[in-house]
Amino acid sequence: MLKELTVNAKELQVKLLKFMEEHIYPNEGLFENQLNEGESRWTVPPIIEQLKEKAKAQGLWNLFLDDTKNGQGLSNYEYAHLCEIMGRSLIAPEVFNCNAPDTGNMEVLIKYGTEEQKQQWLEPLLNGEIRSVFSMTEPDVASSDATNIQGSIIRDGDEYVINAKKWWSSGAMDPRCKIAIVMGKTDENAAKHEQQSMILVPFDAPGVEVKRFLPVFGYDHAPHGHAEVHYNNVRVPVSNMLLGEGRGFEIAQGRLGPGRIHHCMRAIGAAERALELLINRANEREAFGSKLVDKDVIKEAIAESRIEIEQARLLTLHAAHKIDMEGAKAARKEIAMIKIAVPRVSLNVIDRAIQLFGGAGVSDDTPLAAHWANARTLRIVDGPDQVHLRDIGRLELREQLQQKQPQMEDENKKLVLK
């Protein structure tokens, strides 16, 4: 369902587009140069902090939050339009303090954190002073089924003791990373979805060990990075527990719905930029006696890309609107659908652009290869395609059977009366 954006959302959209043109795109190369020239890959390029201050000064800060105290009070539907714009550059989300996993972690703290937890960890995250980690996935189990998670969170007096091996903890390599939200089991004898809990673990706590760095298709995503992190007899106060023991799944569901909207709209933004680059390249290059843009095969690629992008955007905006109106639980099928459809579309469009660019497309001369690698991970991040396909099938079958049930009951009554 398409609806008119509020005046505030439209104004932010205009400001954001201008900021991208004036500050983000021109500084993508500088970001890479500063990163390469730093003491290590895990040193924050100065341009990032400079751009963050500019964004904050213009009110383009914490746009994902739906309250006016810390954000702009935007709905998921409204923010989706802005998230797409930010997705056009891989450095943009952090500049506006709208980068994963910090957005999800901040939402968790806002919804479920105590006042003490908010003061200690939420405020510096809202200010962009620190970064954070979400540690759920484990290397030794199929974590697409979170009930498999084996990490333990055991109470010992006034403390909890955490022992867990986690990987794909995004942001763990960042020198600004100060806090982790860790998911583990507090009671193996509880009901299946009440065994798990989430707890706050300071990243400098004794026993927290960054075991190894994990690249993605050869990209290090520095200075953010991903890592395998071991929590070895880490002790934290009981007050670090989020919401209460056995509430981990409840928190996870509250965290993932809006987050998938963010991921998908950013992927659509990447697809839009890829199409734009494709068209510009085709208009500049000649082969076999004419411009590439005049060849039917290129026009077909452009048309297919536009069709797919529009379909993906409409589906995602529909899911965002349903979350706003009915909540993430009611929009479960729509959320799963975009998680399948959007990465596929993004990959298709980016791949067409890479093909047209040829050797330049697979190099670092354009952002296409990096965007493709990022889009490919989305088929795994927040649940692999197969899990979402299963859920969509189950929900569709349930809806169809529920619709037929009254009709079957009426037919049975008629047979009894006869």
Backbone angles phi, psi at 31, to 5 degrees: -55, -50
Taking CA atoms, 299 is separated from 282, 356, 358, 382, 413, in Å, by 10, 12, 17, 35, 59
Residue range 130-146: mean pLDDT, rounded: 95
Residue range 99-108, pLDDT digits in tens: 999 999 999 9
Cα(108)–Cα(102) distance, integer angstroms = 10
Secondary structure class of 138 (helix, strand, coil) = coil
Mark residue 171 as left, alpha or beta (left: phi above 0; alpha: psi -120 to 50; beta: remaining): left
Q: What is the pLDDT of residue 3?
A: 82
Strands (E), 38-114: none
Q: Domain coordinates of the chain in residue numbers?
A: 7-126, 131-242, 249-402
Homologous superfamily (CATH) of 7-126 is Acyl-CoA dehydrogenase/oxidase, N-terminal domain (1.10.540.10)
Q: What is the pLDDT of residue 413?
A: 55
Domain 249-402 indexed as CATH 3.60.21.10 = no
Whether the pTM exceeds 0.85: the reply is: yes
CATH topology match: 7-126 vs 249-402: no
**CATH number corresponding to 131-242:** 2.40.110.10
Q: What is the pLDDT of residue 155?
A: 98
Cα(223)–Cα(40) distance, integer angstroms = 9
Residue range 356-383: mean pLDDT, rounded: 96
Cα(378)–Cα(401) distance, integer angstroms = 32
Q: With 60 as the cut, is the pLDDT of residue 417 above it?
A: no
Secondary structure class of 49 (helix, strand, coil) = helix
Structure tokens at 252: 């996870």
Residue range 189-241, pLDDT digits in tens: 999 999 999 999 999 999 999 999 999 999 999 999 999 999 999 999 999 99
Residue with tokens 């979805």: 193
Structure tokens at 169: 């903890």
Q: What is the pLDDT of residue 238?
A: 98
Structure tokens at 273: 């930029």
Cα(85)–Cα(93) distance, integer angstroms = 9
Q: With 80 as the cut, is the pLDDT of residue 150 above it?
A: yes
